[in-house]
Chains A and B, each alone.
Chain A
Amino acid sequence: MTMMNDDSKVILMLCGRLGKDTDVEPLKQSEYTRIVRWLVSNQMRPADLLEPVIANSAAASANLPAARLADLLKRGVQLGFAVESWNRSNIWVITRSDPDYPARYRTHLKDKAPPILFGVGNRTLLQGGGVAIVGSRNIDTEAEDFTRDAAAWCACGGLPVISGGARGVDQIAMKAAIDAGGCVVGILAENLLKNSVSKDARKALADERLLLISPYHPEVRFDVGNAMGRNKLIYAMADYGLVVSSDHKKGGTWAGAEEELKRNPARPVFVRMSGTVPTGNRKLLDLGAVLFPDHRRNTDAAATLKEALSSQPEKPAEDLFSYTPEALAKPLAAPA
C-alpha cells in the first residue's frame, strides 16, 4: 500500500494539498496539464522534474514561475508525512501515472481527469462500469422507492452502482445496492476519511464490496465547487447514468447531467419518468437523456439497458482520440 513511484510522488508534490502551508499554491489542473504536455513532448516523465534544471525548463515552457515549481518540489518530507498518515487511516493515493488509475477517466475525461485520487476500499472496483444513480437530496417516498428498486436491480444483475455519497438519492442507492449484495463505488466531494469510518461503510469495505474515492483532500469539508467538480467523475466511472429526480436549471443533479449530456461523446443518461417526476427530469429528455426502461420485467439489467438504448435515434460516433501521448503532442490552442 505504501509503495509509490517517483512519478506519483512528483504529481502529489505539484498538485496535492499536503499540509497547512499556504506559502505556495499547488498547481491547478490546467497548470498541471501544461507541464504534462511539455513532458510528453520531450519524452520525459514526472520524476524527471526532480532534477532542478529540468523543472526550470518545464516551468518556463508552461508559463509558470520557476520558483513556484521549485518550492512545490521541495515538499518531499511533507509528502512523506501526509501520505503515511493517510495510509494509516486506510486511505491510499493514486495518481494519473499509476497503472491502477481508472482507464475510464483517462479516456472519457482526457486532460480533465484528476491528477490525484484518494481512495478507501477495494481497488479492483476502480475499473468501474455499471450505473451511476444520481438525484436530489430531498425526494418524496415514490422516488425513494424507485431508487431502492433500481439500485437493487442493478446489484442483482451484476452491475456496480456508482454514486456521490450525498444525502437523498445517492445514499439510498448505495445502501440498497450493498444490501442486495452488489458492489458500489462512492465518489465523494467531502470528508472521505469520516465517511469511510461510518458503520455501514466499514462493513461493506471489509467485505470488499465498496470503494470510496475522492479527488479532494480526505478531510475537506463540503464546498459547492468541489461537489460540482466531482459530478463528471461519477458519470465517467459508469457505463450509464440514471437521474432519479432533478430540478430544472438548478442544483447539482441538473448541472451534472447537463454537463455530461453536452460532452462529446457523452455517457448515455437515463432518466426516471415513472410516477410524478420533477420538471427537470422532463427537460433532460430534451437534452438527450433516455427514458429509463421498466426494469422489473427483466432481471438481466445489462441487456435491458442496452436494448433500451438501441431503440434510440443514432448518436454521433465515438471520439477518435483517446488520452495518448500522441494526442497530447498535437499543437493545441494556447490556454487563455
Chain B
Amino acid sequence: MKDQAIAYLRAALGQPDAEFREGQWESIDALLNRRRLLVVERTGWGKSMVYFLATRLLRDSGAGVSLLISPLLSLMRNQIEAAARIGVKAETINHTITKPERARIVQDVRAGKVDILLVSPEQLANTDFREDVLSHIAGNVGLFVVDEAHCISDWGHDFRPDYRQIVRVLQLFPSNIPVLATTATANDRVVHDVMSQISDRIELVRGPLVRKSLKLQNITMPSPAARMAWMAEVIPTLPGTGIVYVLTKRDAMRVAEWLRIAGIDARAYHSDSLPDPGDSLLADALSQKGLSLAEFADYEAKKQTAFFREALEQALIEDRINVLVSTVALGMGFDKPNIGFVIHYQRPSSVVHYYQQVGRAGRAVEEAYGILLHGEEDDRIADFFMRNAFPPQKHISAILDALDAAHGGLSLPELQSQLNLSKGQIESALKYLSVESPSPVVKVASKWNATATAEGYAINQELIDAITEIRRNEQRQMQDYMAYDECLMEFLGRALDDPLATPCGKCANCMAHPLLSTEYDPDLANRAAIFLKRSYQPLESRKMWPSGGALPTYGFSGRIGNDLKAEEGRALSLWRDAGWGHMVAAGKYDQNRFNDDLVSACVEMIRSWGPLPAPVWVSSIPSLRRPELVPEFARRLAEALKLPCFPDALRKVRDTEEQKTMQNSFQQAHNLDGVFELHPGFKACGPCLLVDDMTDSGWTFTVAAAVLRRGGCQAVFPLALALNSPRMD
C-alpha cells in the first residue's frame, strides 16, 4: 500500500522523486485502518496531501466521499490541481454558490463523481444545507476531516460555536468511520483538550513549528497617524507582497485607503468586504467566472462578500496587488508561499493568533519580515472583544421569557418586535443557545421555541469567567512579548510549547539592532492625521420599512418607494473617533454648541461629495430635548453654503424615548411613528440638505425624509456630524 501511496504522492506533486514528509505516511496509514487522528503541523507541511492520498486510496477500495469541514472559503487552486492529478475531484459547497450549482454538486456526489467535498462549519449548522445537501450525501461518507481543529477547544484562542456541534457529531460516529482532525497551531493544553473531546482512541501526530526565514521586530508607536506614516514609507522597501493585520473592519478600510493614497496597491479584507464600485479586481474575477456585473449586483450581500473575498485572496496569491489589509478573517488555511512581510498595525489578542498570522510570511522565500506595531488603542479594543465574546444573561433571559410566553414559538422578526435588543444581539444569543446540548431553544420550521431546558436556564458563568481569565492571560503574554528583549522567535516557540525552540539569530533582538527603521516622517504623519479626520462616512438609504407594522400612523410599510426614499447621505466623522469625532462629542456634551470648524469641515465635505441634484435649502431634524442645538448649527452651515435655512419645516409633535436606546429596526422605526409633522405652510420644493448631529441606525433620517418627500420635496440628502459606531461606543 505504501508503494501505491508514494506513486500517488509523486503524481500529485509532479515530482518523480518526492518522498513523504515525516508523519505523512503514518497518518495516511492510520486513516486507511479507520483510526482517528489529530495532526498538528505547520501550514505548508502537507496536511492536504494526507487527506487527498487517504481519499484516493479509500476510494480505490470502494469507500464513499470524503467530507472536509473547514472555515476556508475554498481550497487553494494549486491544491485542487494536485488532487486532480491523482484523479481526486474536489468540490466546495459554501454560501457563495448558486442553487443550481449546489444541486449539480449534490448530484455529482451522489453519482460518485466527487471524491472530496469541502464544507464550512457554518453551513453544517444551516437548516437548508442540512436538508437539501447533507441529508443526501451523509449516508455514504468514507472519511471525515476537521480542519482548524483547535476551534474545538473551549480553551482555544478562537473558539467557534459551530465547532461545539461538530465535536458532538464526531463522538457519535461508529468506529468504522476514519476521522482526521488537523491544525497548524495549538499549545499543549489545547491539543489535549481537542484529543479528549474527539475520542479516547485518538492518536497524535505533531511536528515542529518554527519558521526559519522569518525575521521579527516589535515597534511601539502609540499614534495611529505615526504608524500609518511609517507603513507608507516602509512597505515599498519590503520584499514582495504582504499582509497588514488590523483589529477592526473600520481600520481595515481606513488603512487600505491610506496605503492606496500613498501609492501602494492595497485592499481591505474582512468578514464584510465589499468592492468599491469599479474596482478592477472585481471585474477581473467576474470575467474569470463568466459572470456579469448585473448578476453580481443581484447576489445577496453575504454572497457578494464571499465572492469578493475569494477574489482578493486570489489577487494576493497571484501578486496582482501589493497588500491585503485584513482583520482576523484572513487567516485559517490561507497559504501563499512567498509572502514577504506581515505587519501588525495593532497588537493581536494572543500569541497563538500572532504566530498564526505572522507565520503566513516566509514559507518559501529566503527572507521575510514580521513586524508588530503597538498602539495606544490596542488594550481598549482587546477589552471590547473580551467583554462581547458571550451574550449577557439578561439578553438570554429576555429571549427565553418571550419564547416561553408565546404559543407555537416566535420568528426572528417577531422577537425583534417584542424585544428591545438588536438583531445582532438576538442572533448571537440564539446562536449561543442553539449549540448547547440539550438546548433551551429549538427551531421548528421558521419559529424558535423554548424547550424544557429553558426552564431555569442560566448561562454557565463559571465557564465564561474561566475563559475570560484565559483571554486576559493571553493578552498579558502579548504585552510581555512586546517588552521582551531576548530572541522573539524563541519566545513564540516556547509560548506554543514547541520543545525545539532556540534563539533564531535573525530577529531584531538577536541582531541587537532594528531590522527596519523605527523612525517616521513627521510631514507624512501630519498628512495621515488629516486623512484620519477626513473619514467621511457614506450613509446608505434604507430600502425596506421594518416588517410587522412599525409605522401604522404614517402607514409606511413594505418597500420604500423612490417617491419617499432619502438619497445617500454623509456623516462627517465617527462618534468620539480620532479626527472630528472628538470635537462633535465636545460640542454636544460640553460646549452645547458645535464650533465653526465643524461648519467649514462640512462645507468641505459637501464640496467633495457633490450631492446631485444639488440641495437648494437646508433643514434640520427637530428635537424637543435640545431644541436649538442642531437648528443653530444648520443655520450657520446654510449661511456658509449661501442657501436658505428652514429648520421649522418639520415639527416634532411628541416626546420620544432617546433613539439610541432602541436596539433593533422595528423598535427604532416604531419609536418615530407619527412623530414628525410638516409645517402647515409646507409646499412642493427643491432638494433639501437635512442636518442632524448624530445618526446611528438611520431611521430618523429615513422617516423624516419620507415625510418631507410626501409633502412634495424633490430630494432629501441627510447630513450628520457623526455616525455612531455601536461596535466601539
Contacts and interface: CB of A to CB of B under 8 A. Distances in A.
Q: Does chain A bind chain B? A: yes
Interface of A: 1-2, 4, 6, 9-10, 13, 18-21, 23-24, 47, 50, 71, 73-81, 83-85, 87-90, 120-121, 193-194, 196-197, 199, 201-203, 205-206
Interface of B: 64, 67, 110, 124, 130-131, 134-142, 144, 165, 168-177, 404, 407, 409, 434-439, 442, 444, 449-456
Given A90-B442, A193-B442, 10 more contacts: A20-B136, A23-B139, A50-B176, A74-B142, A80-B169, A81-B134, A84-B168, A87-B168, A121-B452, A202-B452
A74 B64 contact: yes
Contacts of A4: 172
B136 A73 contact: no
A80 B451 contact: no
A76 B174 CA distance: 6
Given A19-B135, A19-B139, A87-B438, A81 B169 contact: yes
B450 A88 contact: no
Contacts of B456: 206
A194 B449 CA distance: 9
A212 to B, nearest CB: 10
Give chain A's interface secondary structure class. Answer: helix
Contact of B451 (A10, A71, A196): A196
A61 to B, nearest CB: 21
A116 B595 CA distance: 75
A317 B727 CA distance: 76
A13 B134 CA distance: 16
B351 to A, nearest CB: 33
17 contacts: A20-B131, A23-B139, A50-B174, A50-B176, A75-B139, A76-B177, A77-B138, A77-B139, A79-B174, A80-B170, A84-B165, A87-B168, A88-B436, A88-B437, A197-B442, A197-B450, A206-B452
Contacts of A196: 451-452
Contacts of B449: 197
Contacts of A202: 404, 450-452, 454-455
B18 to A, nearest CB: 32
A121 B438 CA distance: 11
Contacts, number: 137
A80 B438 contact: no
A90 B439 contact: yes
B451 A2 contact: no
Nearest to A93: B172
B169 A197 contact: no
Given A21-B139, A50-B174, A77-B177, A203 B455 contact: yes
A90 B174 contact: no
Contacts of B407: 199
Listed residue (A9, A120, A121, A197) with the most chain B CB atoms within 10 angstroms of its CB: A197
A76 B438 contact: no
The 4 A-B pairs with the shortest beta carbon distances in the complex, nearest first, are: A19-B135, A205-B452, A206-B455, A78-B138
A6 B174 contact: yes
B175 to A, nearest CB: 6
Nearest to B143: A77
A331 to B, nearest CB: 32
A197 B409 contact: yes
A83 B172 contact: yes
A80 B169 CA distance: 5
Contacts of A2: 168, 171-172, 437
B464 to A, nearest CB: 20
Contacts of A199: 404, 407
B451 A89 contact: yes
Nearest to A207: B455
Interface centre among A9, A50, A76, A205 (most CB of B within 10 A): A76
Contacts of A74: 64, 139-142
Contacts of A84: 165, 168-169, 172, 437
Contact of B175 (A6, A18, A19, A24): A6
Contact of B444 (A73, A79, A80, A193): A193
Contacts of B134: 19, 81
A88 B439 contact: yes
A121 B64 CA distance: 37
Nearest to B454: A202
B567 to A, nearest CB: 47
Contacts of B141: 74, 76-78
